[in-house]
Amino acid sequence: MGLFSNVSSSDDIDITKIKLPEHLGIIMDGNGRWAKKRGLPRTAGHKAGATTFRKISRYCSNIGIKYLTLYAFSTENWNRPQEEVNTLMRYFREYLQEALRDFRDDTIILRFIGDISAFPEDIQELMKENQELSSVRNGMVLNLAMNYGGRAEMVYAMKQIGESILKGELQPSEINEQLISDHLYTANQPDPDLIIRPSGEHRTSNFLLWQSAYSEYYIDDVLWPDYTEKDLNRALLEYSKRNRRFGGV
């Protein structure tokens, strides 16, 4: 059977024969609308979305994606109703505890990008434990963007560079694109080749603003809780057909 025994879809897309992105980003969007369509509280949408997150991240690992960045919680999400924020915190705890308990033999390297200092201390500790435990693995790097915003990330990078200048370790004339990239949360990782946004919205929502300068985008009308491996296969097939010129001819 092997690694790819379950990766073909009923749409006759043979995922083993197409060019995959090295780094895939996904804006997990549509949980609230999914719940509203069903007359359910928004928290029910987040619960369903968490199930999809587990399924899609596992699938990406199985088919050979090397880097996967998922937009889990933005710097703006703190402005949502407190009950909804509390529910999201509970789901974060559950996932992190599950990862420590059940996935010790996994190959996925788990990383958190964003300012995690804003989270409750117990969640911060679970993040640190998961990162440390998974750091010795050799599989897909899974970046969970938590309290993440692209603009905030660039401010973070500029502050680090500014401190180096004040200490005399760096001259302003030495600042270039690579130096900035080296001070982002995704330092030492390739920029995303493809970014997928389920739910039909056509905006970046402050996600990987610097890194996505030449990323391909794919918009899907499917709401995140309904997103399946078949939906992802279609996006990957479309990506494989595109001619990426990076500003050239």
Residue 136, domain member (yes or no):
yes
How far is CA 131 from each of CA 57, 60, 78, 188, 189, rounded to the nearest angstrom? 16, 19, 24, 16, 16
Query: Rounded distance, CA 86 to CA 97, Å?
Result: 17
123-181 pLDDT, tens digit each: 999 999 999 999 999 999 999 999 999 999 999 999 999 999 999 999 999 999 999 99
Strands 23-27 and 67-74, bridge-based pairing: parallel
Please say which residue of 184, 210, 243 terminates a domain: 184
Same domain, 61 and 155: no
Its pTM stands at 0.92
Same domain, 138 and 153: no
Residue 208, domain member (yes or no):
yes
CA dihedral 230, 232, 233, 238 (to 10 degrees): 130
Same domain, 129 and 98: yes
69-83 pLDDT, tens digit each: 999 999 999 999 999
Same domain, 165 and 111: no
Same domain, 108 and 220: yes
221 is catalytic: no
Same domain, 141 and 27: yes
Residue-range definition of the domain harbouring residue 156: 149-184
Residue 214, domain member (yes or no):
yes
Residue 248, domain member (yes or no):
no
Residue 5, domain member (yes or no):
no
Residue 83, domain member (yes or no):
no
What residue has token string 């990506």? 239
Give the percent of the chain with pLDDT over 90: 87
Same domain, 96 and 178: no
Residue 10 has pLDDT above 60, yes or no: no
Residue 124, domain member (yes or no):
yes
Domain count, the chain: 2
Same domain, 25 and 61: yes
Tell me which of 6, 12, 29, 130 is the catalytic residue.
29
Same domain, 99 and 178: no
Same domain, 60 and 163: no
Strand partners, 108: none
Give the pLDDT band (50/70/90) at residue 6.
very low
pLDDT of residue 249: 60
Tell me which of 77, 115, 182, 226 is the catalytic residue.
77
Same domain, 103 and 46: yes
Residue 6, domain member (yes or no):
no
Indicate which CATH number applies to the domain containing 219: 3.40.1180.10
Same domain, 139 and 37: yes
